[in-house]
């Protein structure tokens, strides 16, 4: 809408072509002023929207930085836990390997220790050794169960190690990717 100052003068009932030309020029000039004002208002609105967009982008960047810090902290916790797991896993597999390797020698050692005759009389045996008290079949069954569990543990640990290496490679790829710096040039102009 035009203000009263922007409305062109009414043509006088003049037949002078010069006055009519001035009035036509005034109308064209007023039209150009109104178009220029509309362009100015639209440009200012776009600049304001751009500034708001940049402010939102800065806020999002800060949120992403905070999320990245949280993920790095979580990643460090996972690294610590994985290291502890690997250490304990190594100890357990070492102990199990030693136990399996020395099993037959341990059985011989149990066979070599006789049980006191008084204890044998209480149990109703004539004579016995420590292996008779423990039961060789029971010990062999226990060793087989341990081996099965150990094989299962080794398989799970191998899967875990593969997943861990894939996770670490993904984290490394993400950290090596370049940061987004699109808005810095636009921020400088505004």
> Which residues are bridge partners to 114 per DSSP?
129
Distance CA 114, CA 165 (A): 53
First vs last Cα of the chain: how many Å apart? 31
Distance CA 106, CA 46 (A): 86
CA–CA dist 153, 175 (Å, integer): 32
Q: How many residues does the chain have?
A: 190
CB 31 within 8 A of CB 6: no
Q: How do the pLDDT tens digits run along the chain, 190 residues long?
A: 556 665 655 555 567 888 888 889 999 999 999 999 999 999 999 999 999 999 999 999 999 889 888 988 888 898 899 999 999 999 989 998 998 899 999 999 988 988 888 888 888 888 888 888 888 899 999 999 989 998 998 999 999 899 989 888 888 887 787 765 444 544 554 5
Separation CA 62–CA 75 (nearest Å): 20
């Amino acid at each position: 809408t035009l203000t009263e100052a922007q409305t062109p003068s009414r043509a006088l009932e003049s037949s002078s072509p010069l006055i009519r030309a001035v009035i036509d020029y005034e109308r064209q000039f007023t039209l150009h002023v109104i178009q220029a004002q509309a362009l100015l208002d639209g440009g200012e609105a776009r600049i304001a929207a751009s500034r708001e967009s940049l402010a939102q982008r800065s806020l999002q960047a800060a949120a992403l930085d905070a999320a990245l810090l949280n993920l790095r902290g979580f990643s460090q916790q996972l690294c610590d836990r994985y290291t502890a797991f690997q250490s304990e896993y190594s100890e357990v597999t070492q102990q199990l390997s030693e136990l399996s390797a020395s099993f037959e020698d341990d059985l011989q050692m149990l066979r070599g220790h006789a049980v006191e005759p008084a204890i044998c009389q209480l149990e109703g045996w004539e004579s016995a050794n420590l292996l008779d008290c423990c039961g060789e079949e029971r010990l062999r069954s226990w060793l087989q169960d341990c081996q099965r569990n150990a094989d299962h543990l080794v398989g799970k640990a191998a899967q875990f190690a593969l997943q861990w290496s894939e996770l670490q490679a993904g984290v490394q790829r993400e950290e090596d990717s370049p940061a987004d710096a699109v808005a810095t040039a636009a921020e400088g102009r505004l």
